[in-house]
Chains A and B, each alone.
Chain A
């Protein structure tokens, strides 16, 4: 369980970028994708993210599990949108082009399909980037990156602590769970939902109470070492920005500006091919 965040160490230009730069790019990219419904831009972002994926030398097999979840998610989400409001596209784009009827209120319109395409593209252009970030950024560099982009070092340190203690807590969870199972707690699908919840609590209480003790110990240790005295701190895995980093961040910020300008020039968030 060491590789929880699926960090894959492989020499590539993306791996060489500093964590802080990748974090800025990730945020900028997400903002660009979230604000826009401008279809050409979304298509461009999707294609670009797939290209970056190749550049990072990631293989489909590395991420097949996550890819599976993602596809299921996207399909479910779209089915749900269609079930709840088959006319959503019509209300956004203002026209109604009926392609064919299914039954009752479920009419397939070109507008609805176009809206679904946009939703899929919006997911498709951010998910590879998140995967890229997760697979190419060393978790221990993550906290240092947060501090670099201006998050207070105290909060960055909290993130570092979280990452540091996840494996420990996981191990403790497993130990307690096994101990409780040995005492006859049923956690599997055989138990009813309520019983499973109760069983979960019988594990949670020891886990959390022992974690509260842990909080006490760690904060005492940190206090003894004078944590929080200085204005800033240094990080073992912090790195300086290279030229490439700055270039990447500029490109991503340009994307955000582009997305906002397109929304502005388009006179609305939606790229409308129907009028």
Chain B
């Protein structure tokens, strides 16, 4: 197994803690049951871009599992895994599209938002419902309706929160070639 750097481990730990706090205390209920508008996916997308796919997947997995544990309503593995897949996909997308978190211009934001929408569609439109069918064998249309609501609301919040985060983060970084010779 590939060794993680210490920084990745800490990023996973703190990231999962952030994911947990946002998911547990900042959830805004949506009209469809068992699904809430969750701000934490914006954070997850951002952290996956910064720390890579493995960190993203583990942040999603640990954070989501902890949320489920703390509510005590049982762990919905299908949705926990979907969160992990979202982190993974975002991390890969960032590598593939060569997103540079230190320089998030218009181009970077467009790349970021396209990949987050695609990742959300895959996670909530395919991964979560398919796992739910395998595990609970619930009716298809109900699962896809739930997935749709979750996916759309997550994509919207990710677009707002994630983009804002990327821009704010890029502003704190020193740009390449920012020094000028006098």
- Point out residues on A near B: beta carbons under 8 Å: 4-6, 30, 34-35, 37, 63, 66, 69-70, 72-73, 76-77, 80-81, 83-85, 88, 92, 119, 122-123, 126-127, 130-131, 133-135, 152, 154-155, 157-166, 168-170, 173, 193, 196-198, 200-201, 204-205, 207-209, 211-212, 214-216, 218-219, 222-223, 227-228, 269
> Is the CB of B180 closer than 8 A to any CB of chain A?
no
| Contact (Cβ within 8 A) A85 B141 | yes
A interface footprint on B20-44 (CB within 8 Å = 1, 0 otherwise): 1110011010001110010100110
Contact present for A123 and B6 (CB under 8 Å): no
Q: Is the CB of A4 within 8 A of B34?
A: no
What is the CA–CA distance of A207 and B168 in the complex, to the nearest angstrom? 12
Q: How far is the CA of A70 from the CA of B74 in the complex (A)?
A: 9
Give the number of residue pairs across the A-B interface with Cβ within 8 Å: 191
| Cβ–Cβ < 8 Å partners of B17 in chain A | 161-166, 168-169
Chain B contact residues, CB within 8 Å of chain A = 1, 3-4, 6-7, 9-14, 16-18, 20-22, 25-26, 28, 32-34, 37, 39, 42-43, 46, 50, 58, 62-63, 66, 68-75, 77, 135-142, 145-146, 157, 160-161, 164-165, 168-169, 172
Known: A166-B17, A212-B50, A219-B11. 12 other contacts (CB 8 A): A34-B135, A34-B136, A69-B72, A122-B136, A135-B72, A158-B9, A161-B16, A161-B17, A163-B66, A197-B161, A208-B169, A215-B10
Q: At the interface, is chain B mostly helix, strand, loop or mixed? A: helix
Q: What residues on A are CB-neighbors of B145 within 8 Å?
A: 84
CB-CB under 8 A from B37, the residues of chain A are: 193
